[in-house]
Amino acid sequence: MDRRRIGAEAECLAQEFLVARGLHPLLTNYRCRAGELDLVLREGAALVVVEVRRRGSMRFGGAGASIDARKRRRIGRATRHLLLTHPHLRSLPIRFDVIAIDAGTALPGIQWIRGAFSAED
């Protein structure tokens, strides 16, 4: 299976997981020159930007461990672009979450890390 298809399936699984927990999807795969946002949802009054990470093996750490400072900066820049192009979202508080899907474990599962990082990271 190619990486793009695996990523799309992980994002779909993550969105279903979050919607089942009461979040409302706004955008998927928001792309701009600054980067990409996997999922953008609302939870109450908050705008939730979600990075979806899937790992098929624990060899190099779990999925959550794969989000480095460079990736966090790209997400921050893409979020700033999103707010410039969608002014109605500017007044909402923003939270950055991670959905980590570790498929290489005995019990594959989803880990939801709320407030995983800030835009300043």
pLDDT tens column, 23-45: 999 999 999 999 999 999 999 99
Give tens-digit pLDDT for 61-97. Answer: 444 556 788 889 999 999 999 999 999 999 999 999 9
98 contacts 51 by C-beta, under 8 angstroms: yes
What is the pLDDT, as a whole number, of residue 60? 46
How far apart are the C-alpha atoms of 75 and 39, rounded to whole Å? 11
| CA dist., res. 52 & res. 10, Å (int) | 7
pTM of the model: 0.87
Sheet containing strand 24-32, strands side by side: 24-32, 35-43, 46-55, 94-102, 109-117
Average pLDDT (103-113) is: 73
Residue 51 pLDDT: 95
